[in-house]
Amino acid sequence: MSLPTPLSTPLPTSPKAVLIDLAGVLHTGDQALPGAVDALRRLRDSGLPLRFLTNTTRSPSSTIIAKLQAMGFDIHGGEVQTAVLATKKLVQMRGLKPHYLVHPDIAEEIGPSSPTPDAVVLGDAGPYFSYDALNTAFRLLMQGLPLVVMARNRYFMEADGLSLDMGAYVAGLEYSAGVKAEVVGKPAQPFFATALADLGVAAEDAVLIGDDLMDDIGGAHAAGIPGILVRTGKFRPGDDTHLDIRPALVADDFAAVVDILLAQS
Amino acid sequence: MSLPTPLSTPLPTSPKAVLIDLAGVLHTGDQALPGAVDALRRLRDSGLPLRFLTNTTRSPSSTIIAKLQAMGFDIHGGEVQTAVLATKKLVQMRGLKPHYLVHPDIAEEIGPSSPTPDAVVLGDAGPYFSYDALNTAFRLLMQGLPLVVMARNRYFMEADGLSLDMGAYVAGLEYSAGVKAEVVGKPAQPFFATALADLGVAAEDAVLIGDDLMDDIGGAHAAGIPGILVRTGKFRPGDDTHLDIRPALVADDFAAVVDILLAQS
């Protein structure tokens, strides 16, 4: 579970772009976190280019963006990079014909399963991770099909507490089928590289703000991007004193991070 | 996944007891494997003491025994050691008050979940491994409750092919909650030790016959019991040439093993 280069590069004195995780940083469930809407407005007013990077794969990007806008966030479609759309791009580039085990809400965005699949692609099916659906995927993996997963997060914060994320099902299929999954979203390096290339910014000149020590901060550090951990969302005591993954900065919440970034620049 | 002492002790020239896995060795689903009923009768006629060791935890022992008898096997209750009953004994000895995530068919045998649990106990819930049930277990683990699992087999053979076993869910919960499960059934050493103590036989004087390279053969070897792998059930090409776990003997099926054992003694 450890990443190759977990140590952070230092925070840039004047960052040129900000990559922002969504759930747990800007909001929990349908609730904006305190001060987050206003903080995003102030960050945007500074003129810094922004990208929102999410591993949430239970909803299509249109739903994610509409939900954020309904909470009052000034966010637009072109700024949001989702693991679902990155997976769709990867499938197209490689010409794969996947069997999809995904949430029905993203079926339209990702496309239909092939009747003659050459890969198994997993998203966060949540309550649709039935035994039968997993067993179907397992049997395809035992036939030698590769496993591509949109994410492998361990858990996420819901309104009523921490909840199991799709990583549990990824780890389970890997164990039983004796395979290793390819991850498309965070902490995969191409996912960060795409955002940096879009913005035309070098890794060490950007910062990433996230609540997931392993997949946000660990992933960013492996990509050379300084990671800022917030004590909201799935943050748990001890995440800020982890021996291997040390954030460039730990702050109470997104608003506090914005205060620090704007005071620097 | 590797076991501490995977290398086999040699087959005893004259074994004093035979430990036998059930599913995949004597039968697949409701079908006795060819020659298995007659082979068991011949083995029993030889007077060798027998114990049947099963990690099947979707059914109570009464159902398992009745099913075997209906297929024609001469097997009695006192000879069958199940991971369910071993778990029940462990729970009683430690005075645990578990939250059970198990198949409803074993609810009566194992007992009810405590409303104020101090442990999470998993059996093979099969189709009852719903997202909500797993998430409830996950949240208890995140509160610090220990995870006890009846087994962690990767897959098993059903009439229509290999199917996902409970090990996938164990691995998933371990990954997401950052815990390590305690296994009660095979390959846990006390499970084998109980059978040997019941029979009053030393490990090196017994043999174990199984179709699961890791949990039957690897587990037996770690306990000092020579393991005999059969090419039935979940056996897959390559299991007989594994680098780390080398059976003392590989035979086509249970009947072939009995022929060899009876020719020796």
pLDDT in tens, B1-10: 444 444 567 8
pLDDT average, residue stretch B226-234: 97
* B contacts of A167 (beta carbons < 8 Å): 172, 175-176
**Percent of chain B at pLDDT exceeding 90:** 92
Checking if the pLDDT of A9 tops 90, the result is no
> In terms of DSSP bridges, do strands B98-101 and A80-82 run parallel, antiparallel, or are they unpaired?
unpaired
Q: Given A183, A200, A227, which residue is the final one in a domain?
A: A183
Amino acid, single-letter form, for residue A36: A
Residues in CB range of A200: below 8 A, 6 or more apart: none
Residue A162's SS3 state is strand
CA distance A158 to chain B (A): 12
pLDDT average, residue stretch B101-125: 98
In a domain, residue A54? The reply is no
pLDDT average, residue stretch A177-205: 97
Q: What is the pLDDT of residue B8?
A: 65
Co-location of B203 and B175 in the same domain: no
Contact check, Cβ <8 Å, A175/B178: no
* A contacts of B131 (beta carbons < 8 Å): 126-129, 164
CB-count exposure of residue B8 (10 Å: 0-12, 13-18, 19+):
buried
Residues in CB range of B175: below 8 A, 6 or more apart: A154, A167, A168, A170, A171, A172
pLDDT in tens, B68-94: 999 999 999 899 999 999 999 999 999
Looking at the structure of chain A, the number of domains it has is: 2
> In terms of DSSP bridges, do strands B31-32 and B161-164 run parallel, antiparallel, or are they unpaired?
unpaired
Question: Would you give the DSSP letter of residue B12?
Answer: P
Checking if the pLDDT of A206 tops 50, the result is yes
> Nearest chain A Cα to B1, which residue?
A175
Co-location of B243 and B168 in the same domain: no
pLDDT in tens, B33-75: 999 999 999 999 999 999 999 999 999 999 999 999 999 999 9
* A contacts of B132 (beta carbons < 8 Å): 127
In a domain, residue A57? The reply is no
Q: What is the pLDDT of residue A189?
A: 97
Q: Given B151, B166, B183, which residue is the final one in a domain?
A: B183
Q: What is the CATH number of the domain that holds B142?
A: 3.40.50.1000
Co-location of B190 and B258 in the same domain: yes
ipTM: 0.94
Co-location of B101 and B177 in the same domain: yes
Contact check, Cβ <8 Å, A168/B163: no
HEC states along A1-30?
A: CCCCCCECCCCCCCCCEEEECCECCCEECC
Amino acid, single-letter form, for residue B261: L
CA distance B40 to chain A (A): 31
pLDDT in tens, A96-144: 999 999 999 999 999 999 999 999 999 999 999 999 999 999 999 999 9
Type and span of the H or E element at A108 = helix A107-110
What does pTM read for this prediction? 0.94
Q: Given A140, A160, A183, which residue is the final one in a domain?
A: A183
Say how far apart CA A178 and CA A172 lie, in whole Å.
Answer: 10
Co-location of B175 and B98 in the same domain: yes
pLDDT average, residue stretch A233-237: 95
Structural domain harbouring A218: 1-21+186-265
Co-location of B191 and B248 in the same domain: yes
Amino acid, single-letter form, for residue B16: K
> Nearest chain B Cα to A176, which residue?
B154
The rounded mean pLDDT for chain B is: 95
- The pair of structure tokens assigned to B4 is 């501490």
In a domain, residue B87? The reply is no
CA distance A65 to chain B (A): 26
Q: Which residue has the tokens 């399963």?
A: A113
Co-location of B113 and B167 in the same domain: yes
- The pair of structure tokens assigned to A119 is 């890969």
Contact check, Cβ <8 Å, A176/B154: yes
Say how far apart CA B70 and CA B10 lie, in whole Å.
Answer: 35
- The pair of structure tokens assigned to A122 is 């997993």
Contact check, Cβ <8 Å, A165/B176: yes
Q: What share of chain B is helix, strand, coil (3-state, %, to 5)?
A: 40, 20, 40
Q: Which of B113, B44, B74, B29 is nearest to B258 (CA)?
A: B44
> Which phi and psi (to 5°) does residue B115 adopt?
-70, -20
